[in-house]
């Protein structure tokens, strides 16, 4: 933190100030949810939540806990704004995002409150970059009302398991391919099926497989989701270590990805997806 | 049919599917007691690929012909499945090799589906169901043994040679002589052959494992299919044998790893230039009917012309039949002329410049052209054509073409037509500036409105 400290003058005036030695962790998480252009940033004393939505059907959010930053300062009340995530990711990657561990720019990010831009100061090898990204008034984010009490089935598994399966789907298949997720306390326990015009496929994962860490299903749930809507979950799957798959009584799917960062911090990315309407099946 | 592929053979099997997918849109599955054939043929029927996996390739094999007790005559179901769906199953070979322990394939005749099941690590089971259509055997008539020329080399030798050609190069010519082989690009139908990229490379006879060329010979065939077989053979370090006789007869590439598997690719070669007029007409017909901006089909028309050796259960396209009767030929010539007349008239009177080559003007050309060509050949068609010749003395280009047609029956190749009518394709060309554009020489014989 050499030159960045010069900018320390009036931190207290900003509703949101973040400093980190490693901007790549932020970059990595934001990239994982960058399936749509605009993102809503919600800053609270606990940390920063970046929410991306599409078509009122899917929502992905990355939670950057305050502990993963060297300095995290947020006013007591919640700060929200909307920002172009493509631009933010591009700015964070301005030094080219070296893949070597330990070589990463440091970042200071300030937000001056309603109407002001988000300013980023990135420094790598004494090269400073200032970026100002305009912000917009935040819209309400989708509220899935997904609470723990209504969760019916819960499976914790290693991410490779889902990654291989999800990456093999033929998303461009003609028609509207859907994925049916079956979770049940009885055989076949956990089955992912794709149904498209061309073919059908079933993938059975036994509940005692080494890939599955926890399997707790109380009720047989069979829900269909559009494959295209699930596609954005591949990105967080590739960086995650573990995945928690939950469905509630309404069939809403929640995938929670546990991502272990370079600096051993653990972050979470959440992905919600609405099921297809029952009437549409058959 | 039921069979089990051990994990060690998944990769080879997957590569075979990838290779077949480069040939055709449909995968034909034909089980026999000794093994199963997977076959594909391309849309213009100029390339045929066949993979045979012997029962030794599988950990377990049952062709399902009901060997034990049921009727002896009962044959195993033969079918075809969508190549795209099948390719998707084997999409990522890397993942398959990493995760799959063994794979089961079965044909379910009752539900008309091809089942593919992967038993993967960690107890994961993936099952795919591909609906199939029952069909007859796909069979290409060829005979390796009667081919006079035979060369065999490691797949690497050929693939290193082929890699030098541009990826969009469609055809290559293989020139063989007693001591060396020259592979060069085949350039045809290019307005300016001087501008096309020509690649030529020589392989000495010594580079081949077997070399038997009694007579010098030149065969031209599509590169795409050759690449498909090399992509299969190269990673497993097998040798590729080629059999061919003369231009116009198929060239056969074979990879043999008996008794595990063997594969044969049969490619049409271009017929020699001095072909019958009828076939030339056919070829050029095909050319002109293609939209100008459309993709070129994988095989050139003359390639598909030469593909008449292919016997398939599907209805063969008329382009494959040799039209030798002189009456047919003459009527074709005349329809050609009348088509041309319509085409040129459409261009002249069309208010906007049509930029698509060879497409009839939708307003004028199509209806009347169809009408003329289905009409029995009458005198009026010829009159129309000659009228055109007389009444448009200013248009030299039109004259030239019609004159040429008087001398050489049959249409010129489309590229040449484009050359002659070049001005019509220029964006600055305004048909209304052409003298006599508003004079209708012959009204539409068929009133569409």
CATH code, domain carrying B83: 3.70.10.10
H/E stretch holding B347 reads helix B326-349
H-only helix segments in chain A: 23-32, 85-92, 159-168, 227-230, 234-239
Residue B448 lies in a domain: no
Least confident interval from A5-9, A187-191, B101-105: A5-9
B283 with B422, same domain: the answer is yes
pTM confidence score = 0.69
pLDDT at B419: 65
Domain count within chain B: 3
Nearest residue to B221 (alpha-carbon basis) of B181, B184, B270: B270
Residue among B99, B122, B128 whose CB faces A201 most closely: B128
B224 with B324, same domain: the answer is no
pLDDT at A98: 65
H-only helix segments in A33-181: 85-92, 159-168
B284 with B421, same domain: the answer is yes
pLDDT at A99: 64
State the smallest CA–CA distance between residue A45 and chain B in angstroms.
42
| Average pLDDT for runs of 10 along chain B of length 449 | 92 94 92 91 91 92 65 69 90 89 90 91 92 86 87 91 88 90 84 80 91 90 91 91 90 90 92 54 38 40 43 39 36 40 40 40 37 36 38 38 44 60 74 78 70
In 10 A of CB A129, how many CB atoms? 15
CATH topology of domain A148-280: Proliferating Cell Nuclear Antigen (3.70.10)
B132 with B203, same domain: the answer is no
pLDDT at A233: 93
**Residue that is last in its domain, among B230, B247, B267:** B267
Contact between B130 and A198 using a beta-carbon 8 Å cutoff = yes
Contacts of A168 in chain B (CB under 8 A): 88, 91-92, 95
Contacts of A173 in chain B (CB under 8 A): 88
Residue pairs spanning A and B at CB distance below 8 A: 59
pLDDT over 50 at A282, yes or no: no
pLDDT at B399: 40
B179 with B81, same domain: the answer is no
Residue B272 lies in a domain: no
B205 with B218, same domain: the answer is yes
In this predicted complex, what is the ipTM?
0.81
B96 in reach of chain A (CB within 8 A): no
What CATH code would you report for A3-136? 3.70.10.10
Residue window 313-332, chain B: list those with CB within 8 Å of chain A: none
Interface test with A, best of B122, B128, B130, B133 (most A CBs within 10 A): B122
Q: Pairing between strand A151-158 and A212-217?
A: antiparallel
Q: Partners of A111 in the beta sheet?
A: A16, A118
Q: What residue spans in chain A does CATH classification 3.70.10.10 cover?
A: 3-136, 148-280
Q: Give me the domain span that covers residue B295.
A: 277-433
Q: What end-to-end distance do the CA atoms of chain A give, in Å?
A: 60
d(CA B52, CA A274): 46
Instruction: Name the closest residue on chain B to residue A201, using Cα atoms.
Output: B128
């Amino acid at each position: 933190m050499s030159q960045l400290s010069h900018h320390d003058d009036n931190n207290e005036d900003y509703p949101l100030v973040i400093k980190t030695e490693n901007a790549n962790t932020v970059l990595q998480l934001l990239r994982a949810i960058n399936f749509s252009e605009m993102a809503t940033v919600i800053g609270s004393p606990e940390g920063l939540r970046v929410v991306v939505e599409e078509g009122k059907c899917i929502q992905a959010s990355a939670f950057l806990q305050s502990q993963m930053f060297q300095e995290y300062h947020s006013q007591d009340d919640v700060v929200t704004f909307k920002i172009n995530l493509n631009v933010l990711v591009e700015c964070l990657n301005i030094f080219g995002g070296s893949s070597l561990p330990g070589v990463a720019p440091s970042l200071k990010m300030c937000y001056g409150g309603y109407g002001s831009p988000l300013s980023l100061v990135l420094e790598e090898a004494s090269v400073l970059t200032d970026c100002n990204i305009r912000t917009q008034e935040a819209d309400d984010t989708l509220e899935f009302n997904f609470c723990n009490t209504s969760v019916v089935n819960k499976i914790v598994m290693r991410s490779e398991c889902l990654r291989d399966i999800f990456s093999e789907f033929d998303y461009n298949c003609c028609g509207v391919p859907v994925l049916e997720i079956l979770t049940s306390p009885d055989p076949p326990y956990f089955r992912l099926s794709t149904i498209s015009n061309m073919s059908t496929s079933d993938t059975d994962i036994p509940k005692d497989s080494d890939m599955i860490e926890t399997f707790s299903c109380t009720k047989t749930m069979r829900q269909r989701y559009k494959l295209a809507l699930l596609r954005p979950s591949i990105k967080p799957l590739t960086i995650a270590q573990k995945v928690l798959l939950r469905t509630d009584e309404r069939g809403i799917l929640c995938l929670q990805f546990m991502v272990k960062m370079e600096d051993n911090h653990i972050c979470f990315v959440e992905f919600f997806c609405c099921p297809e309407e029952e009437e549409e099946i058959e | 049919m039921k069979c089990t592929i051990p994990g060690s053979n998944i990769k080879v099997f997957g590569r075979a599917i990838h290779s077949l997918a480069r040939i055709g849109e449909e995968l034909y599955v034909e089980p026999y007691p000794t093994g199963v054939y997977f076959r594909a043929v391309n849309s213009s029927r100029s390339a045929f690929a066949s993979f045979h996996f012997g029962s030794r390739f599988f950990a377990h094999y049952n062709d399902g012909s009901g060997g034990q007790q049921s009727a002896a005559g009962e044959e195993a179901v033969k079918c075809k499945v969508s190549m795209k769906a099948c390719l998707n199953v084997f999409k990522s070979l890397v993942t398959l090799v990493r995760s799959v322990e063994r794979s089961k394939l079965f044909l379910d005749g009752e539900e008309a589906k091809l089942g593919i099941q992967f038993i993967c690590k960690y107890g994961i089971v993936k099952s795919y169901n591909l609906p199939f259509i029952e069909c007859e055997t796909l069979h290409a008539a060829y005979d390796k043994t009667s081919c006079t020329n035979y060369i065999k080399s490691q797949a690497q030798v050929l693939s290193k040679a082929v890699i030098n050609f541009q990826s969009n190069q469609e055809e290559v010519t293989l020139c063989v002589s007693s001591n060396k082989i020259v592979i060069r690009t085949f350039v045809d139908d290019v307005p300016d052959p001087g501008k096309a990229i020509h690649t030529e490379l020589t392989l000495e006879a010594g580079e081949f494992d077997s070399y038997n060329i009694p007579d010098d010979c030149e065969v031209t065939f599509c590169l795409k299919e050759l690449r498909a077989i090399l992509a299969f053979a190269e990673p497993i370090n097998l040798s590729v044998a080629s059999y061919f006789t003369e231009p116009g007869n198929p060239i056969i590439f074979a990879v043999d790893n008996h008794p595990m598997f063997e594969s044969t690719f049969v490619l049409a070669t271009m017929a020699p230039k001095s072909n019958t007029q009828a076939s030339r007409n056919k070829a050029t017909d095909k050319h002109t009917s293609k939209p100008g901006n459309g993709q070129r089909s994988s095989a050139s028309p003359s390639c598909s012309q030469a593909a008449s050796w292919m016997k398939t259960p599907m209805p063969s396209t008329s382009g494959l039949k040799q039209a030798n009767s002189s009456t047919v030929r003459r009527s074709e010539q005349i329809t050609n002329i009348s088509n041309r007349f319509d085409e040129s008239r459409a261009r002249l009177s069309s208010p906007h410049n049509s930029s698509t080559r060879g497409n009839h003007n939708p307003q004028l050309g199509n209806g009347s052209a169809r009408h003329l060509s289905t009409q029995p050949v009458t005198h009026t068609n010829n009159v129309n054509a000659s009228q055109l010749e007389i009444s448009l003395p200013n248009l030299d280009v039109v004259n030239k073409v019609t004159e040429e047609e008087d001398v050489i029956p049959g249409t010129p190749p489309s590229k040449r037509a484009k050359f002659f009518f070049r001005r019509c394709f220029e964006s600055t060309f305004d048909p209304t500036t052409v003298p006599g554009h508003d004079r209708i020489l012959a009204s539409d014989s068929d009133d569409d409105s």
